[in-house]
Amino acid sequence: MSKEKQTTEQYINSVHRVGRIGGAIMIVVMISMPIIAGIYFDATPSIGQIIQASIGLLAIFVPIAISEVISYTPVLGSSIYLTLVTGNVLNLKLPVANNAMHLMDVQYGSEKADVIGSIAVSVSSILTVVIIALGMLLMVPLQPVFNLPAVKTASAYVLPALFGSMALGIFNDNLGGGIRAPGRLKGAIVPTIIVLTLSIADKYILKTGMLSSVQGVLILMMLPITYFITKSLYKKGKIQVILPEGEKADATVQAADE
Amino acid sequence: MGFYDVANHWLIYVMVTIGIVIVLGFAVLSLRKSWKRALEIGYTKQQLMNVTKSSLYFTIVPSIAIVIGLFSLAALLGIPWPWWRLSVIGSVAYELMAADMVFKSASVQVATATSTDFVLIMYVMTIGIIGGLVTSLFVAKKIQTGTLKRSVKDPRWGALGNSVFMMTIMVVFLVPVIVNLGVDLMTLITSAIITLILVFIIKKTGAKWLNNFVLAISLLLAMGSSVLWSALIK
């Protein structure tokens, strides 16, 4: 006898339970490695040494890490746990999930987007782990090829090579699922001006190159600005949202309660 | 024991191998759950295979870039620990920064570093970047529930409001690439042009299978073009 179909609420509860347990296990695994190594080699550093060496990193990365969770989860959904475990968010997981969502024409934040994004992130994570393992095993024969100047140059431009293609899919009227929103880019004008000003100041006036290390925090600052400007323009009718005829655009999904 | 005796010790290999098997298990479980749900809500196996293939093709090139990072990190930290770090949360830039902070705080250099310094690096790299994962355990479900509720309350605003997040992420990362001008900008434009050409070809010929490759082909060719732009501009 086949099992009954899950409701959206049951599915969301179930994937978050798996994600939380998986995430918690990974935290334990990650932390246990230095502890075991320290005990085995009789080389455990003092707590003072650990705090002194990590305090600078924590000051930079804790705000970035928190802001990444807040800004990426609405896009990645329940795959955020696996994404954060396997890393490479910007150069791999976000584009691969976004690409899959566009391919299946689903709207961000819907259950369909969650399911399709999770498949893409899982598949991508598995392949990356396999490729890195192969790279490690084949380090000796591969090193001359990967040390070629052309290969090193090309690998330094992964992000611009990605963003050009991705931007076309993101900066248009299509919201997925046949929903269109003419004029929605108006909501991004103010944040674009702010980021542009900061980027120019950082690159050409202050010349600190600091901006790239605080982009996570910058997203967190720009999100409410884009969100409320978009909402205001939508309420004033300056941005229209056109649903596909006869459909309610994924509105049948039942939000899962905490 | 010295720094590299620990860095390349069998125990580190064993721990890392176990850790990576657990990561793979997590990914496989996640894939199984989402695949099953996708079939339940009406997707066909063919559609899901298309998503899988497209994701696999796209993943290859950025993963090779990570392997190149692995080589540079292995020269400093031995093989197994960079293998672990780059298979999980880490990135080359972050790991190098963390190692540098440890060397500075302990006032040592690689040549004189001890086994304790290596274990200290393991601690610092782990603690420094784990904050996101810890945070996600407490807030991710609430955030996603919020996005789902938005769609239920008002389908129009739900669709529009939920699209704001990806748009903002792109603005924050795209604008500095444009401001960098030079090779960054030319590579970005090349990528966009290649995508437009591919989309045009798909529309004209009806070759929908090509949709699966658009991002992967654009990425690969634009990365290749960066070599040309570097030679011309720099």
Using a CB-CB cut-off of 8 Å, the residues of chain B touching A78 are 140, 144
Q: Which residues of A touch B143 (CB under 8 A)?
A: 69-70, 73-74
Query: Can you list the residues of chain B whose pLDDT is less than 70?
Result: 90, 92-93, 106-107, 110, 234
Q: For chain A of 258 residues, list the mean pLDDT of each consecutive stretch of 10.
A: 71 93 95 95 90 79 80 88 88 87 86 93 94 86 78 83 84 78 89 93 83 78 91 89 62 38
Q: Do B63 and A127 touch (CB under 8 A)?
A: yes
Q: Which of B54, B145, B224 sits opposite A257 (nearest CB)?
A: B145
Nearest CA in chain A to B44: A104
Nearest to A127 by CA among B24, B42, B141: B24
Please tell me the total number of residues recorded for chain A in this structure: 258
What is A36-69 written as a DSSP string?
A: HHHHHTT-PPPHHHHHHHHHHHHHHHHHHHHHHH
Cβ neighbourhood burial of A60 (10 Å; 0-12, 13-18, 19+)? middle
Length of chain B: 234
Neighbours of B164 (CB within 10 A): 26
Residue type, B213: F
Beta bridge partners of A242: A180
User: Where is A195: in which H helix or E strand?
Assistant: helix A189-200
Which chain B residue has its CA at the smallest distance from A133's CA?
Answer: B83
In chain A, the residue whose alpha carbon lies closest to the alpha carbon of B14 is A33
Write down the pLDDT at residue B234: 66
- Tell me how many degrees the CA angle B150-B153-B158 measures, rounded to the nearest 5: 40
Amino acid at B193: I
Cβ within 8 Å, pair B66-A15: no
Contact state of A45 with B55 under an 8 Å Cβ cutoff? no
Closest by Cα among A50, A157, A44 to B115:
A44
Domain ranges of chain B: 3-129, 155-233
Residue A181, token pair as written in the block:
């929103």
Give B74's contacts (C-beta < 8 A, 6+ positions apart).
Answer: A136, A139, B82, B83
**pTM of the entire structure?**
0.81
Contact A56 B101 (CB under 8 A): yes
Check the CA dihedral B141-B144-B148-B150 and report its sign. positive
Q: Rounded to an integer, what distance in angstroms lies between the CA atom of residue A108 and that of residue A250?
A: 11
**Yes or no, beta carbons of A165 and B9 under 8 Å apart:** no
SS3 A96: helix
Whether A231 and B161 lie within 8 Å, measured CB to CB: yes
The Cα B222–Cα A136 span in angstroms is 26
